[in-house]
A and B are shown apart, each in its own frame.
Chain A
Amino acid sequence: MTIAIRVQQTTFDVGAEQLALTESRCDIGAVVSFTGWVRDFNERPDVTALTLEHFPGMTEKALHAIAQEASDRWSLQGVTIIHRIGRLEPGEAIVLAMAASAHRHAAFEACDFIMDTLKTRAPFWKKEHTESGSYWVSERQSDREAADRWEHS
């Protein structure tokens, strides 16, 4: 089980990350990856950019703990989590979660779990910039509910 965690300003290449995860292995039957992208509408309809803040040290630890928890729940060969920070514009990729397993169901579920958990537990904060000003994004009840369902499964 290999865990790769990165918090970075620069963008990432999903294909390259998938190659790195599967390189020189023949026991992986499925890789599921999720990429989150910056939309130009969210709390307001005219988002021009967003700034992502994190808590250096704790953020990496939290992501590592999430990957570890996923591998405790499902039989995984590898997990990669990359999250970008700093200023991002609509149309840019912001987060990558990738889970590798022998079979697809474990990889699908683990990837889903990683994203739900990341959204409620990893210390990142988004500030959205619009024509009418900037504001910190509020937490969403739907994100908390999505994370909660894993508590009972």
Chain B
Amino acid sequence: MTLTHLNARGEAHMVDVADKQETRREARACGAIHMQAATLALLAEGGLPKGDVLATARIAGIQAAKRTPELIPLCHALALSKVSVEFRLDTSQNCVHVEAFCRLNGRTGVEMEALTAVSVACLTLYDMCKAVDKGMTIDGVRLEEKRGGRSGDWSRESAPESDEIAAFNEEASSVANTVTIHFLAELRERFAIAELTLDWEQIPSRDIAGIKLALIDRDPKFKALLHQRVLCALNQAMSQDDAPIAPSDEIAFFPPVTGG
């Protein structure tokens, strides 16, 4: 095996592809951006300040694929015949999965284009959502498969994830419990409920944001918890969306205070 971007003297160079046969080349790459549950919910319903996040990120990914040679020094400029960028919102892992597919008839592969499309789509998602969530992480950017060319077809072996999921479920069931939610003042009247309990397993993430999502999952009326200037107390102390929760915790949602 040799690194094709290094010449005989070990210097970086662009591979001369003039004599290579044109073949159909395809590549599929994936990545994900993880965020707070509440951010994902806002994204899903188009409630983010910069507008239609997914449409913008899709265009950004496609544009980026076409400009890959301007970013990656020794990459050839390619006349791509197809670029697609797809998103899948995953509330169980609080992330957006990004998948890019590139195709052309040419002399070099399109892996870099697919990876660039995923990367820039993720960066655009970050940019579009950062006003509400600066802790997002972009991860798992990788090539899933490629077809065509001298090195032939390649596919990432799908790693079994069942062990991890089983371990997670076991942990959850061993601490099976509930959290109590109170609604006070105007929120109690708006929701027509003063108190309810959530099963620990129903909460998608172990923080206040996860509580909000679990409530919205139970009844869409609780979306008001995301939009309004709603305050939250965790065990009677003011808390933010990212405050971690534990079984038996007492959580209260209420409007801004107006005493005195």
A residues contacting B by CB (< 8 A) are 36, 52-55, 57-58, 61, 83, 94-95, 115, 118-127, 136-140, 143
Pick the contact of B236: A36, A58, A127 (CB < 8 A).
Answer: A58
Chain B residues positioned under 8 Å from A121 (CB to CB): 238, 257
Residue of A nearest to B260 (CB): A119
A118 to chain B, nearest CB (A): 5
Pick the contact of B186: A115, A118, A125 (CB < 8 A).
Answer: A125
**CB contact under 8 A between A124 and B236, given known A55-B184, A136-B185, A136-B186:** no
Pick the contact of A53: B185, B233, B236, B260 (CB < 8 A).
Answer: B185
Q: How many residues in B have their beta carbons less than 8 Å from beta carbons of A? A: 18
Q: Within the assembled complex, what's the spacing in Å between the Cα atoms of A126 and B184?
A: 12
Q: Within the assembled complex, what's the spacing in Å between the Cα atoms of A57 and B182?
A: 13
Q: Within the assembled complex, what's the spacing in Å between the Cα atoms of A53 and B189?
A: 12
Chain B residues positioned under 8 Å from A58 (CB to CB): 233, 236-237, 252
The 4 closest A-B pairs by CB, nearest first: A124-B259, A125-B185, A139-B256, A58-B236
A61–B259 contact, CB under 8 A? no
Q: Within the assembled complex, what's the spacing in Å between the Cα atoms of A54 and B236?
A: 12
Q: Within the assembled complex, what's the spacing in Å between the Cα atoms of A143 and B257?
A: 10
B183 to chain A, nearest CB (A): 11
Given contacts A118-B260, A124-B257, A136-B186, could you give 15 more A-B pairs where the C-beta distance is less than 8 Å?
A55-B182, A55-B254, A58-B237, A61-B236, A61-B237, A119-B258, A120-B257, A124-B258, A124-B259, A125-B254, A125-B259, A126-B258, A126-B259, A137-B258, A140-B258
Q: What 0/1 pattern do residues 207 to 240 of B give for CB contact below 8 A with A?
A: 0000000000000000000000100010011100
B215 to chain A, nearest CB (A): 19
Q: Of residues 174 to 201 in B, which have CB atoms within 8 Å of A's CB atoms?
A: 182, 184-186, 189
B residues contacting A by CB (< 8 A) are 182, 184-186, 189, 229, 233, 236-238, 252, 254-260
Sampled A-B contacts (7; CB under 8 Å): A119-B257, A122-B259, A124-B260, A126-B259, A137-B258, A139-B255, A140-B258
A57–B259 contact, CB under 8 A? no
Chain B residues positioned under 8 Å from A61 (CB to CB): 236-237
Pick the contact of A83: B186, B229, B237, B259 (CB < 8 A).
Answer: B259
Residue of B nearest to A115 (CB): B260
**CB contact under 8 A between A125 and B255, given known A57-B236, A58-B236:** yes
Q: Within the assembled complex, what's the spacing in Å between the Cα atoms of A58 and B250?
A: 11
Among B233, B236, B259, B260, chain A packs the most CB atoms within 10 A around the CB of B259
Residue of A nearest to B252 (CB): A55
Chain A residues positioned under 8 Å from B260 (CB to CB): 36, 83, 94-95, 115, 118-119, 122, 124, 143
B184 to chain A, nearest CB (A): 6
**CB contact under 8 A between A138 and B258, given known A55-B252, A58-B233, A61-B236:** yes
**CB contact under 8 A between A136 and B257, given known A55-B184, A58-B233, A61-B236:** no
Chain A residues positioned under 8 Å from B237 (CB to CB): 58, 61
Q: Within the assembled complex, what's the spacing in Å between the Cα atoms of A119 and B260?
A: 5
B257–A123 contact, CB under 8 A? yes
B252–A125 contact, CB under 8 A? no
Q: Within the assembled complex, what's the spacing in Å between the Cα atoms of A143 and B258?
A: 9
Pick the contact of B254: A123, A127, A140 (CB < 8 A).
Answer: A123
Q: Within the assembled complex, what's the spacing in Å between the Cα atoms of A106 and B7?
A: 78
Chain A residues positioned under 8 Å from B258 (CB to CB): 119, 124-126, 136-140
